[in-house]
């Protein structure tokens, strides 16, 4: 895990959230096609979040690609116990996972995950040496009601209360407006940059000096990824449906990686 010089361009993170798609056999087929289509690139890292049953298969299929990390879509904060249907962090690590999605909008709004639970999962991941990708975002009702800032500050604040400032060197964030998840709508580059700046300011207000990568998620596709990533506030993208096809995913990576990425005065990276 390193931080880049302030004068260097950002190293982008392209994160693929497969949601409830691709079992082990399909994950292996995806990896075979994907590896034939792409080679490691110096300016990006690739993170994959398959269903829990496919984590081990995808880790094995990806081999030793230095630019790839595989992770879980959700975990419990306890390491064992009577939690039917849950996934413990040591279990995901045992099959090769290195990262985990925490607080995805579908976990929050479909399954009732609270800010407190998101904070507990983040703390547990860090304690196990796993990198959490913590998701933040407002609903359409909240956005139309002028409450975006309130919601983002509240969600960031729950994690801030649970962590020490030094912990943030091992955290990645993603702004994913709920109204843009799977809807075909997406925040404009200006919209995304504005909220990313808000998050950065809130971290600074609480003495977080680590240059925390902040991704954007919400109907990202081959048609908009380049325009989004020209903004220096964005350190990468969290992609859902557009990551399920290896050919389309490879195309998205090429377009995003070739975007005019400007050096940033505050951004760093987590390598791996």
CA-closest candidate to residue 168, choices 143, 116, 132: 132
Q: Model-level pTM? A: 0.92
| 38 φ, ψ (degrees, to nearest 5) | -130, 155
3-state secondary structure of 14: strand
Domain boundaries, the chain: 12-257
Q: Is 176 a catalytic residue?
A: yes
Separation of alpha carbons 109 and 104, rounded Å: 9
- Specify whether the CB–CB gap between 20 and 50 falls below 8 A: no
3-state secondary structure of 101: strand
3-state secondary structure of 146: coil
Per the structure block, which two tokens stand in for 61? 């299929």
Q: Is 104 a catalytic residue?
A: yes
pLDDT at 187: 84
Superfamily of 12-257 according to CATH: Aldolase class I (3.20.20.70)
pLDDT at 184: 67
Length, in residues, of the chain: 272
Q: Which of 22, 142, 176, 196 is catalytic?
A: 176
Q: Which of 76, 104, 196, 267 is catalytic?
A: 104
pLDDT at 23: 98
| Residue found by looking up tokens 């081990």 in the block | 56
3-state secondary structure of 175: strand
Per the structure block, which two tokens stand in for 27? 């994950």
Local mean pLDDT, 10-residue blocks, the chain (272 residues) = 42 97 98 97 96 98 96 98 98 98 95 97 98 96 93 98 96 92 78 96 94 94 96 96 98 92 46 50
- Specify whether the CB–CB gap between 89 and 130 falls below 8 A: yes
Separation of alpha carbons 270 and 13, rounded Å: 9
CA-closest candidate to residue 163, choices 195, 135, 127: 127
CA-closest candidate to residue 41, choices 8, 68, 16, 59: 68
Separation of alpha carbons 186 and 191, rounded Å: 9
Burial-class residue 7 by CB neighbours within 10 Å (0-12, 13-18, 19+).
exposed
Separation of alpha carbons 190 and 128, rounded Å: 36
């Amino acid at each position: 895990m390193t931080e880049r010089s302030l004068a260097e361009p950002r190293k982008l993170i392209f994160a693929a959230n497969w949601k409830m798609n691709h079992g082990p056999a399909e994950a292996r087929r995806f990896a075979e096609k994907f590896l034939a289509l792409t080679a490691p690139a110096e300016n990006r890292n690739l993170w994959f979040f398959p269903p829990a049953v496919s984590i081990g298969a995808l880790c094995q299929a990806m081999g030793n690609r230095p630019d790839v990390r595989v992770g879980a879509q959700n975990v419990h904060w306890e390491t064992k116990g009577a939690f039917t249907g849950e996934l413990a962090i040591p279990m995901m690590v045992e099959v090769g996972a290195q990262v985990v999605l925490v607080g995805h909008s579908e976990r929050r709004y479909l399954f009732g995950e609270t800010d407190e639970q998101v904070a507990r999962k983040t703390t547990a991941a860090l304690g196990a040496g796993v990198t959490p990708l913590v998701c933040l975002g407002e609903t359409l009702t909240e956005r139309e009601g002028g409450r975006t800032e309130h919601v983002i500050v509240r969600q960031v604040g729950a994690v801030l209360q649970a962590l020490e400032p030094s912990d943030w060197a091992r955290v990645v964030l993603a702004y994913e407006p709920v109204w843009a998840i799977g809807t075909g709508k997406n925040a404009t580059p200006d919209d995304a940059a504005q909220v990313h700046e808000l998050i950065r300011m809130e971290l600074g207000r609480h003495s977080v000096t680590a240059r925390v990568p902040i991704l954007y998620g919400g109907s990202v596709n081959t048609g908009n990824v380049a325009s989004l990533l020209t903004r220096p506030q964005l350190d990468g993208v969290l992609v859902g449906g557009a990551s399920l096809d290896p050919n389309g995913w490879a195309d998205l990576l090429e377009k995003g990686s070739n975007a005019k990425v400007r050096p940033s005065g505050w951004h760093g990276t987590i390598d791996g």
